[in-house]
Amino acid sequence: MQKGQQAILDRDSLSHDSSVAPELLAWYDRERRELPWRAASSVKQDPYKVWLSEIMLQQTTVKAVTPRYDTFLRRWPDVTSLARAELGEVLAAWAGLGYYARARNLHACARAVAGELGGAFPESEKDLRKLPGIGAYTAAAIAAIAFGKRATPVDGNIERVVARLFAVATPLPTAKPEIKALAERLTPAERAGDFAQGLMDLGATICTPRSPDCGHCPLGEGCRAEAEGLAEVLPYRATKIARPTRRGVAFVAVRADGAVLLRERPLKGLLGGMLETPSTPWEETAPSDIEDHAPVAAIWDKLPGLVEHTFTHFYLKLLVYRAEVSQGAMAVDAARPEQCRWLKRDELADAALPSVMRKVIAHALDARVKSVAKAKPGARAVARASA
């Protein structure tokens, strides 16, 4: 055992360590949230539903996931049906949830389970972690919730509850191993899944990031943060490094029939496999050779304003250029011409477009509508002739 881990276990234990699980489980039985992926207390959990929900909930809110989860489940009610789907279909259904590597791994994992494993998820954390997209947290959550194993998933809610319960003074993310060890210390041998979900619910409804409702907390009596007046400030967090800003140019080509030119991004990397309007690389400064990146030979109009989007590790600012092209226009993207396609306006809603690209297209189409509405009949004809 490492020195730091020994120090964690040697700290003065809560006098009611042994009562934390019973108290929390009793509260959970009374107050548990009704969520679409949770089975009733007397019904065995479906591993597929647990896995699907846990992948969707990573770095996303329950509010954002709930309608999308219902849509996924209606379309792909089991792992076999999801495995049969095309990746593009899954990416399109995922659009708007962000972190698109999750969707690619979701599809790859479904195919691995449906194929190599005969449709059955493994029960142990070790075997679950061998599957695409399943890390330490997700493996522990599936093992505990779906299979009743004594496992300890630690998400943001659990992290906050445990940090306050033990008044952990080490800032995050450095404190993560310490908090994990303390959570494991509390995890009961029986009902580990309910215990984990109880901690999640407690963090989501009572032990909230701001203004925790300590008076109604089932664990409040023995909470060190509450006793020391630290509940509202814990867990401490290290100062975040400022996100850099990247810049680029997006090209929106609109065909005479209203179709928009899109390009499929490489499978690996940011937004892998998703569709985009052809764009320059996203770098610290926008390129000076903008014309060389245009995907179609046309007259490109620079639109006023910028499209801005926030990714996890950087801010993105895009200039948008728009061109109206003829019905027979060909996509001549020198980089990946085979990845280009035209999508009609009514096909865009179901396309695998990430949020940033929907912003780009909306910006271009809104600008087009405004320019047409403001143009006088004679001026509009000249503009079309020049295009």
Domains along the chain with CATH numbers: 3-227 (1.10.340.30), 245-386 (3.90.79.10)
- pTM (two decimals): 0.76
> What is the rounded distance in angstroms from the CA atom of residue 356 to the CA atom of residue 275?
11
Could you say which DSSP state residue 256 is in?
Answer: T
Closest CA to 295 of 257, 267, 258, 323: 323
Q: Which residues are catalytic?
A: 54
pLDDT tens digits for the chain (387 residues)?
A: 444 444 444 445 544 577 899 999 999 999 999 999 998 877 889 999 999 999 999 888 898 899 889 999 999 999 999 999 999 899 988 887 877 889 999 999 999 999 999 999 999 999 999 999 999 999 999 999 999 999 999 999 999 999 999 999 999 999 999 999 999 999 999 999 999 999 999 999 999 999 999 999 999 888 999 999 999 999 999 888 888 999 999 999 998 888 899 998 888 888 888 899 999 999 998 787 887 888 888 888 999 999 999 988 899 999 999 998 887 665 555 455 567 888 888 888 888 898 999 999 999 987 655 554 454 443 333 233 333
User: What CA–CA distances, in Å, run from 175 to 60, 162, 181, 219, 250?
Assistant: 22, 11, 10, 21, 41
> What is the rounded distance in angstroms from the CA atom of residue 338 to the CA atom of residue 321?
22
